[in-house]
Structure 1
Amino acid sequence: MSTPRRANRGPAAAADNRAALLAAARTTFAEHGLDAPLSLVARTAGVGQGSLYRHFPNREAIIVAVFEENIGQLEDLVANHESTLDELLDQIYTQLTGAVGLFEFLQPADSSDPRLSAVITRMHALLATELADDTHRGSIRADVTAGDIFLAVGMLGALLNKTPEAERARVAQRSWALLLRALRH
């Protein structure tokens, strides 16, 4: 069943269309992987492909935009001076399990896109900020680095990308519990 197209409101609809495209991309990539047709993203958002390409000229642009939105949510959390690393990790886990396919794109070693590199840098900075403050670090061991956490999240993302959807929630919960156990005192 396809999503009905919304009435064309011209330039006034730009912000709504962009938000709908980001939500649709997150859902589509989570369900079908990063190779899902962009036409499916547009249909899911209820907009035409022209609207998609006006906002996002290519696949990488929409993937980076989804990551930027995710990082913005994490930055908002960390901006609350009472937040803890445990809360940040919980939010990262929620984002990861909600958009498994996207995390295969987040590989720092082969990032030639400067926008993606900026997202990775922002993620490292968030983790480093929480790790640097003992009151925010919580139960995470003193020798754990932002790079360690980034690696653990990447490993979980890679595992979940290869896990059948029917088993994904169970595998995600079990794997996350094991990773947290390894990171904690």
Structure 2
Amino acid sequence: MSAVAKAAGVGQGSLYRHFPDRIELALAAFEDNVAELERLASDPAVTLGELLECITDRSIESVAFIDMIAPTTDDERLTAVTDRVIQALAAKVQPAIERGEVASDTTAEDLFLSVAMIATLVARTPLEQRRQVADRAWSLVRKGLV
């Protein structure tokens, strides 16, 4: 929190008045990203692949984004964000099934698990190699989803 306050040019007290803990700060920082996923999910012209690409882009840009949407705690605030991402994915599953892009038994939860697995791999990869690793991992996962 002190590094964030310093980068923002404010005192740590000011930061804590607006964001009582790290989770609140993360939620605020990534709200635009989650809202973008929801906007894409609501656009009939956007495919499942494009939505997954957006999530992958955010994973490559910020490991913290994935930590937030795939929480390892039972914090209800983080669970709510995870649910929003799963709902965004759910909006694209049936059209993807109808186009033969994924198997008929594919669920949004399956896709979210795939995102989490790939994001974990990407997080452990040097930044300059993340795109290549993510693309290769998605290539393998897509074979299993069809």
Q: TM-score if structure 2 supplies the norm length?
A: 0.82
- CA offsets, 1:102-139, max 9 Å, x none? 3134335x432221111111111111121133588662
Structure 2 unaligned regions, length at least 5: none
One-letter amino acid of the structure 2 residue matched with residue 62 of structure 1: L
The yes-or-no answer on 1:69 pairing with 2:32 is: yes
CA RMSD of aligned residues (A): 2.4
One-letter amino acid of the structure 2 residue matched with residue 52 of structure 1: L
The residue aligned with 2:16 is 53
CA change 1:182–1:115 in 2 (3 A) is same
Paired-residue identity, %: 41
Contact 2:5–2:15 (CA under 8 A) maintained in structure 1: yes
Contact 1:78–1:126 (CA under 8 A) maintained in structure 2: yes
The residue aligned with 1:102 is 65
Query: For residues 136 and 85 of structure 1, what CA distance do their matches in structure 2 show?
Result: 12
Paired residue secondary structure (2:103): coil
The yes-or-no answer on 1:159 pairing with 2:89 is: no
Query: For residues 76 and 157 of structure 1, what CA distance do their matches in structure 2 show?
Result: 21
The residue aligned with 1:39 is 2
Query: For residues 93 and 112 of structure 1, what CA distance do their matches in structure 2 show?
Result: 24
Structure 1 unaligned regions, length at least 5: 1-37
From the CA coordinates, give the structure whose radius of gyration is larger.
1
Q: TM-score if structure 1 supplies the norm length?
A: 0.67
